[in-house]
Structure 1
Amino acid sequence: MKVLIAGGAGFIGSTIASACLDSGIEPVVLDNLVTGRREFTAGRTFYEGDIADGALVDRVFAEHPEIEAVIDCAALIVVPESVAQPLRYYTENVAKGIAFLGHVVRNGCRRLIFSSSASIYGAGEDFAVDEGAPLAPLSPYARTKALFETALEDISSTGDIRVVSLRYFNPIGADPELRTGLQVRRPSHALGKMIEARESGEPFAVTGTDWPTRDGSGIRDYVHVWDLARAHIQAIRRFDTFLPASGPATYEVINLGTGTGTTVRELLDAFANVAGAPLPAVEAGRRPGDSAGAFCRSKRAEELLDWRPERSVEDGIRDTLAWFARRESVIDLAD
């Protein structure tokens, strides 16, 4: 079996590609390398280019007619950047995504797995959300995900393509074999900022301390990226089981999280336990586009994908630290 992974040279896409290889599935990677890394494509069939390049997508399918499904991980994902550059985010995440979908449909591929985000939810009083929770995206990034999901649902209703939207919570960790990991020089998420603070000797900034959570800091559901990758393998294997070509349903949404909420302060404590030393911290104001957060409350992934997370927050911290210790030997951060 072959699958096309758009954005397959990025953090999550490259990890999914590794999981595919380990599972006997051949990944075909398409990436424009704006944030992805060429090093992450080594030993994998790779096409450099944009998802909106119809001629290139046609060529991929012409040269790999065995492609049975597409995994779409191609997107810009930094929330503060989306606030500063909304036009860029709507262009890359929505306009180009719709163009790519058209190219996929034109080439006769009828299965799409979309990398979506739990940031589109409006959390309730307990911050737990399931797939039926109301949507209330608070940043341009989150709104691009919600808008593109609306387009996917409408387009899939024609029967031209069947779509599974996997709504990720907060990925941490790295490929356990350290083939790939977080590639950006200055990560914007909490764990990356903690590692950056430890390396620089500066205190870690807890951004937002007046949220209505148990300790005032934001709450997230930190899911290991390898668990996310395994969920994609299950979605590929079981796609026709829960979205059969002969059935009436053409669109499905599945949350991917651990079911456990972890506040930023609790993540800081877990980081200290894994690293073996406390990390100094200071309080800071909320960042543009920030929200209190949410965590997963759902059995749908278990029911439809036969998937459960296997790795803990501490495992994610440990694997992230291991990756950061060797990533400069894998990628050139000066690029």
Structure 2
Amino acid sequence: MSVLISGGAGFIGSTVASACLDAGIEPVILDNLVTGRREFAEGRAFYEGDISDGALIDKIFAERSDIEAVIHCAALIVVPDSVADPVGYYRANVAKSLEFVDHLLRNGCERMVFSSSASIYRTGEDHTVDEGSPLDPQSPYARTKAMCEAIFADIAATRPIRILSLRYFNPIGADPQMRTGLQLRRPSHALGKLIEAYEEGTPFQITGTDYPTRDGSGIRDYIHVWDLARAHVEALRRFDGLFPEGAVINLGTGSGTTVRELAEAFNRVVDRPVEVVETERRPGDVAGAYTRSDLAERLLGWRAGYSLEEGIRHSLAWAEVRDSRLS
């Protein structure tokens, strides 16, 4: 079996590709390398180009008749950037995804796993969400994911394709074998900023301390990227038996971690603690939430396996080797 992975040279997509390889599924990578890395596609079938390029999609399916499904990971993902450039985000994430699915339909593709986001939910009072929680995306990035899901549902209702959306929050860690990891040297998320502060000996800023959480800092669901990758593989394996119940499945740890608690866990792992200071919220940030994943356990036989500390350790290990792996 082969699977086409859009965005397969990015952080999530390349890790999913590694998990597919380990499971005996051949990944075929499609990536325009705007944020992805060519190094992450080495040794794998790779097509450089855009998901909206119909001629390229036709070429891929003509040359790879063994492709049985698609995992759609290609997207821009930085919340503050989406606030600053909503046009670019709607074009890249929504308009091009619509074109992509149209090309897939033309080529007879009947199965797609959409790597979505749990940021589209309205947060409950206890900061938990499940598949039935109301949607209320709070940033242009989150709205692009919600819009894609709505578009895909309309298409799947009348066309010969089934689309499964996997919703998750904050991936951390790296491939435990260090084949791939977060390609950015200066990522904007909290763990990336903690590692930057640790490397440079500067304070870590908690951006926002007036949220209605247990300690005032934002609450997040930090899930190890390898756990996410395993879930995508299980979705492929069980795809045909998931519908109609499993058109949407949440992936999470089942427990939330505040930014302050993340910093405390980080300082338990490293050899010298990082100083923590408080500052104002960033544009587009919200209090946050974490997801209940009972449906994922029941339908996919999946639950998160790595701890927060293990995710931090793998992130640190990748940070040490990243520059030697990326030319």
What corresponds to 2:220 in structure 1?
220
Report the CA distance shift for 1:71/1:122 in structure 2 as closer, same or farther (over 3 A).
same
Alignment of 1:172-211 (within 5 A): 172-211=172-211
Matched, 1:283 2:278: yes
1:257 to 252, 258, 264: 252
Given that 1:54 and 1:103 are in contact with CA atoms closer than 8 Å, whether structure 2 keeps it comes out as: yes
Given that 2:116 and 2:168 are in contact with CA atoms closer than 8 Å, whether structure 1 keeps it comes out as: yes
Alignment of 1:2-21 (within 5 A): 2-21=2-21
Query: In the aligned structure 2, how far is the partner of 1:165 from the partner of 1:116?
Result: 6
Using the TM superposition, give the Cα deviation of residue 250 of structure 1 relative to its aligned residue in structure 2, in angstroms. 8.8
Report the CA distance shift for 1:87/1:251 in structure 2 as closer, same or farther (over 3 A).
farther
Sequence identity, in percent? 68
TM-score normalized by the length of structure 1: 0.96
Alignment of 1:93-104 (within 5 A): 93-104=93-104
Q: Which residue type is aligned with residue 262 of structure 2?
A: L
Using the TM superposition, give the Cα deviation of residue 222 of structure 1 relative to its aligned residue in structure 2, in angstroms. 0.6
Q: Which runs of 5+ in 1 are unaligned?
A: 244-248
Using the TM superposition, give the Cα deviation of residue 169 of structure 1 relative to its aligned residue in structure 2, in angstroms. 1.6
2:305 to 305, 310, 318: 310
Query: In the aligned structure 1, how far is the partner of 2:317 from the partner of 2:70?
Result: 31
What corresponds to 2:25 in structure 1?
25
What corresponds to 1:271 in structure 2?
266
What corresponds to 1:246 in structure 2?
none
* 2:247 alignment partner, SS class: strand
Given that 1:156 and 1:250 are in contact with CA atoms closer than 8 Å, whether structure 2 keeps it comes out as: no
Using the TM superposition, give the Cα deviation of residue 278 of structure 1 relative to its aligned residue in structure 2, in angstroms. 1.8
Given that 2:112 and 2:163 are in contact with CA atoms closer than 8 Å, whether structure 1 keeps it comes out as: yes
* 1:157 alignment partner, SS class: helix
Matched, 1:329 2:324: yes
* 2:249 alignment partner, SS class: strand
Given that 2:7 and 2:31 are in contact with CA atoms closer than 8 Å, whether structure 1 keeps it comes out as: yes
What is the number of residues matched between the two proteins?
A: 327
Given that 1:256 and 1:301 are in contact with CA atoms closer than 8 Å, whether structure 2 keeps it comes out as: yes
Given that 2:37 and 2:183 are in contact with CA atoms closer than 8 Å, whether structure 1 keeps it comes out as: yes
Q: Which runs of 5+ in 2 are unaligned?
A: none
* 1:226 alignment partner, SS class: helix
Using the TM superposition, give the Cα deviation of residue 321 of structure 1 relative to its aligned residue in structure 2, in angstroms. 0.2
Query: In the aligned structure 1, how far is the partner of 2:292 from the partner of 2:19?
Result: 25
TM-score normalized by the length of structure 2: 0.99
* 1:16 alignment partner, SS class: helix
Query: In the aligned structure 2, how far is the partner of 1:121 from the partner of 1:262?
Result: 17
Query: In the aligned structure 1, how far is the partner of 2:219 from the partner of 2:271?
Result: 23
What corresponds to 1:294 in structure 2?
289
Query: In the aligned structure 2, how far is the partner of 1:218 from the partner of 1:2?
Result: 40
* 1:113 alignment partner, SS class: strand
Structure 1 segments (4+ residues) deviating >4 Å = none
Using the TM superposition, give the Cα deviation of residue 201 of structure 1 relative to its aligned residue in structure 2, in angstroms. 1.6
Given that 2:9 and 2:31 are in contact with CA atoms closer than 8 Å, whether structure 1 keeps it comes out as: yes
What is the CA RMSD across the aligned residues, in angstroms?
Answer: 0.9
Query: In the aligned structure 2, how far is the partner of 1:153 from the partner of 1:251?
Result: 13
